[in-house]
Amino acid sequence: MMIRTMRILFAVLALAVFGWAPASAQDIQSCPRNAKNLAGTPPGQALRCVCTIRQIRGSVWGSGRYTTDSSVCRAALHAGVISRSGGNVRIYAGRGCRRFDGSVRNGIRTGRWGAYGRTFAFRYPLPLCAENIATGGEGEGGDDGGGGASLAACPRNMKNRFMPAGRALRCSCAAYQMVGSVWGTRRYTADSSVCKAARHAGVIGPNGGSVSVFKGGGCRRYLGTVRYGIRTGRWGAYRSSFAFRYPMPRCFGGGGTPAKACDPSFGGKYVNLLRRIRVPQDRRRYGLCRNYGRYSGSSWAGYRNLPAGYWTYKYPHWYIWGRRTR
C-alpha cells in the first residue's frame, strides 16, 4: 500500500514539475493495420492516427475509397495523403460498394474487387463508389444522408471567397454547371469552374451531386490532365487554389507560392506576432507559403507551450499571430 501511494505521489509531482502527460494525451496513436474495426463509426467522425514507413505494406483494393480489409497506410500513400516516409491521416468509415477499381498512384498499385460490405477513405464526404462514378449515381452523399437537394448551388469559381484553412464549402453541382475552363489536377486554380473540376476530380458523376470545397494557397505550377472525360489545362503560378479534400493535395512539383513573395502576415491580415518557430521539414506538406488559420494546440514539431493563435508558414518558419484584422 505504501509503495502504491508513493508511486501516485511521484506521478502527480512529475506532472506538476515537468508537465508530463500520458502518451495518449500528447501523441497520435499508430494507425491500425486495416479498417475492419471502424464498423459502426458515426458518419463524419474521423480516426486520427499516424502511419510509419514500416506500415506502408500489404494489399489494397480500390481507388480513393477502399475495402476495409486493405492496408490503411499503403492506401494512404496511394491516395496521396502521406509521403513515402509516412505521416498523419484522418480515416472515415463508410458503407460498402458493389465494385472497386484498381489503379496505380504515387507508385502504389491497388487491386480491383467486386462487392464488399464496408469501406474507408481519407476525406469526408467519402468519394463515390466506382459504380456510381461510372453511371453518374449519387453514392452516399458523404454518408451524411445528403444528396445535394438541400444544399445551395456551388459558385461558378472560388476567386472571391475567403475561407479559413480546413473549412469546407458544402454545395451542390448540377449537370448544367459543368461548364467553363479548369486548370490543374486534384488542386485547381481558384478561377477554375468548381463543378467541372469536381467531375474531373471524380467526386461527382456526370449528373452532378454534392461536394465539399476547400480553399488554399497558390501553387507555382498546375498540371493539366484528362480524367472522367474532362480535359484541364496547365498553368504557371496562381495565387490561390481549391480542392475537394483536406488536407489539400500537394502542389504539382511540390512548390507553393514562392517564399520571396510570401508575406507571413498576408498583407497585414494578421498582427501581434506571438512566436516564430523553425520547422523546415514542413515544406513537404505545406509548401513554401501557407495561410493555415487558427490552431489551438500547444505543441508542434518538438516545440512545447506554444500559444493559441493564427498560424502562417513562410519556409522555413511558422509564425503564430495573436489577432486577425479581417
Instruction: Select the more confidently predicted residue: 211 or 287.
Output: 211
Q: How confident is the model at residue 34 (pLDDT cuts 50, 70, 90)?
A: very high
Domain 28-132, CATH homologous superfamily name and number: LCCL-like domain (2.170.130.20)
The SS3 call for residue 286 is helix
CA distances from residue 286 to 76, 155, 223, 280, 321 in whole angstroms, order as listed:
17, 26, 18, 10, 18
- pLDDT recorded at residue 73: 96
| Rounded-to-integer distance, Cα 266 and Cα 288, Å | 13
- Tell me which fold the domain 169-251 belongs to: Ferric Hydroxamate Uptake Protein; Chain A, domain 1 (2.170.130)
- pLDDT recorded at residue 15: 44
Looking at residue 141, what DSSP letter applies?
I
Lowest mean pLDDT among 17-31, 179-193, 221-235: 17-31
| Rounded-to-integer distance, Cα 325 and Cα 263, Å | 15
CB within 8 Å of 229: residues ≥ 6 apart: 199, 206
pLDDT digits (tens, 9 = 90+) for 139-171: 444 443 333 335 678 999 998 887 777 788 888
- pLDDT recorded at residue 191: 93
Q: To which residue does cell 490543374 refer?
A: 184
| Average model confidence (pLDDT) across the chain | 81
CB within 8 Å of 76: residues ≥ 6 apart: 31, 51, 56, 82, 87, 89, 122
Lowest mean pLDDT among 39-48, 56-65, 86-95, 139-148: 139-148
CB within 8 Å of 275: residues ≥ 6 apart: 306, 307, 309, 319, 320
- Residue range(s) of every CATH 2.170.130.20 domain in the chain: 28-132, 169-251
Q: How confident is the model at residue 276 (pLDDT cuts 50, 70, 90)?
A: very high
| Rounded-to-integer distance, Cα 68 and Cα 65, Å | 9
pLDDT digits (tens, 9 = 90+) for 198-243: 999 988 888 888 888 999 888 888 999 999 899 999 988 888 899 9
Note the Cα 14 to chain centre separation in Å.
Answer: 37
- pLDDT recorded at residue 151: 67
| Rounded-to-integer distance, Cα 263 and Cα 76, Å | 32
Looking at residue 145, what DSSP letter applies?
I
pLDDT digits (tens, 9 = 90+) for 95-120: 888 888 888 888 899 998 888 889 99
The SS3 call for residue 18 is helix
pTM over 0.75: no
Nearest CA-CA partner of 201 in 217, 187, 221, 216: 187
Please give the average per-residue pLDDT across 182-188, as a whole number: 94
| Rounded-to-integer distance, Cα 80 and Cα 245, Å | 11
Is the predicted pLDDT of residue 306 greater than 50, yes or no? yes
- pLDDT recorded at residue 21: 37
- pLDDT recorded at residue 54: 94
Write phi, then psi, for 102 (nearest 5 degrees): -90, 155
Lowest mean pLDDT among 79-88, 126-135, 311-320: 126-135
Cα dihedral 170, 171, 177, 180 sign: negative
